[in-house]
Each structure stands twice: as structure tokens, then as C-alpha cells.
Amino acid sequence: MKVIILAGGRGTRLAEETEVTPKPMVEIGGRPMLWHVMSCYSRYAINEFFVALGYKGEVIKRYFLDYHKLSRNLRVDLATGAVDAGESECEDWKVNLIDTGMDTNTGGRVKRMEQFVSGETFMLTYGDGVSDVNLDKLLKFHRSHGRIATVTAVRPQARFGSLALDGDVVTGFAEKSQLGEGWINGGFIVFEASVFRYLGGDNSSLETDTLKELAQAGQLVAYRHDGFWQCMDTIRDKALLQKLWQDGEAPWKVQG
């Protein structure tokens, strides 16, 4: 199973970080968000990734070019420049880094990946969101209904708690809940190869063009996920994900 990860946007709502770093490379627990996204798939032995690059794509390329070398112990002879690399355990991932244009929209980026996944069922997600969704169950659900696409529907955490009122009297406080808002597209999408008939050029949007058209054709089904999901759109989101990781309470973390 191949996975396309959209990682080419400018991340303007996280401008404090993305002026120098593309959003998928913003770190949580010392690892880029993109690594965390890949880990969500790797826990289900899905290890072949096609990363759609755009804004500051060279930063992502440089990270993966150096990944194996920098994950190992090194012995450097300063006099000769000789380097001996020790043993290391690296993730068994195949990472394909594909330039899809600086300003290409999401639908256009997926269209540009057609040659790499043509004729296959494939998965797709965004480079800024993690979840504990069971991908085995997601894929089984997708295959059960025979449609072109399955999107994982999630309910984001409500931004604020709510007041319980009796007239004008406050009787209690409700904590912020993962069920505080309606269902939204959480990524972690499964597509059949026939989806490329619904994808347009570089200016097309995956969300407002392709998924909308699939829905109108009765070819889009939602897999409801009531568990953890969190994107990293803002500094507040980053702080939340960082705290979960530091506290050992990150639901998406692969336990080893």
C-alpha cells in the first residue's frame, strides 16, 4: 500500500514557524511532524511514502538525505577526514520526495502523483495531522462499500469549554470535548485509482473540487473515527501536541 502525503503548502497560519521551515518539518518531541505522520502508517506496516513537495521542499529533501547517516554513531578521524559509521536501527521506510510545484493546489498535487500510484488503491493524508485511527479497519471499511473514496471523518476538540446554565445562573462547567463540533475531513483517505478522473490541473482543490464532485456522484464515504485526531495549524496546536508527547500521552505514538 502506497501513501501520498501532501506537504507542499505554505502554512501561513503557523507563520511564526514556517518562515524558515515548511510546516511538515516543524518539530514535536525532536522529530518533524512529517515523521510523526509516517509513524501513524508504519505501525500498520504501511511503509512506502510519496511526499508531494512545494514550499521549502529542499528542507524536507535534506532531512531524509541525512537521516540514515545522522541516525548512526560516527567515528571521525580529524587528521584524515575518514569516517567510520557504526550500526544503527532505522525505520524500514521507502520515502519518495516529489516536487509538485511551489503554488500548486492540493488537487493538482495529487494529480501530479498519478504516475507513481496508477492502477492501485492508495492512501493519502496531510503532512500536519496525526491520529490513532486504526488503518486496518479503515481499509477494510473502504473495501466493503465499493466506492472510489473513503475519508476519515473526525470531530476536532472544541476550542473552549461550555457553561451549563439554568436561566442566568451558572450551574457547572463542561470540559473541552473531542465531540465539541461537527464531523470534518481528517485526512487519512483511501482512494481507488479511478479517482484521477476527478482530479484537475494545478489550480484544482482536492477538498472543494474533487471530494465535492465525488460526493455528488455518490462515490465518497465517511469512516467515522471517534478517537484521537489533531492537526497542527497554529502555535496553540503545536504546544498541545508537544505537551502530549512530553507527558507520554501521545495517542498516535508507536509503543516499542
pLDDT digits 0-9 by tens, 32-46: 999 999 999 999 999
Q: What is the pLDDT of residues 110-155, one digit of tens each?
A: 999 999 998 999 999 999 999 999 999 999 999 999 999 999 999 8
Q: Answer yes or no: are the C-beta atoms of 128 and 8 closer than 8 Å.
A: no
List the chain domain ranges.
Answer: 2-246
What is the pLDDT averaged over residues 173-196?
Answer: 79
Query: What is the distance between the alpha carbons of residues 25 and 48, in angstroms, rounded to a whole number?
Result: 19
C-alpha pair distances (Å), 100 with each of 7, 22, 96, 120, 202: 10, 14, 12, 20, 9
Task: Give the per-residue pLDDT at 112.
Answer: 97
Per DSSP, the residues of 52-99 read EE-TTHHHHHHHHHHHHHHTS-EEE-TTT--EEE--------EEEEEE
Question: Does the CA dihedral 217-219-225-229 come out positive or negative?
Answer: negative
What is the pLDDT averaged over residues 190-197?
Answer: 97
* Average pLDDT taken over every residue of the chain: 88
What is the pLDDT averaged over residues 4-20?
Answer: 80
Residues contacting residue 76 through CB under 8 Å, at least 6 positions apart:
82, 83
Residue 240 is placed in which grid cell?
498541545
In the chain, the percentage of residues whose pLDDT exceeds 90 is 68
Q: What is the pLDDT of residues 60-71, one digit of tens each?
A: 999 999 887 777
DSSP 254: P
Question: Per the CATH hierarchy, to which homologous superfamily does domain 2-246 belong?
Answer: Spore Coat Polysaccharide Biosynthesis Protein SpsA; Chain A (3.90.550.10)
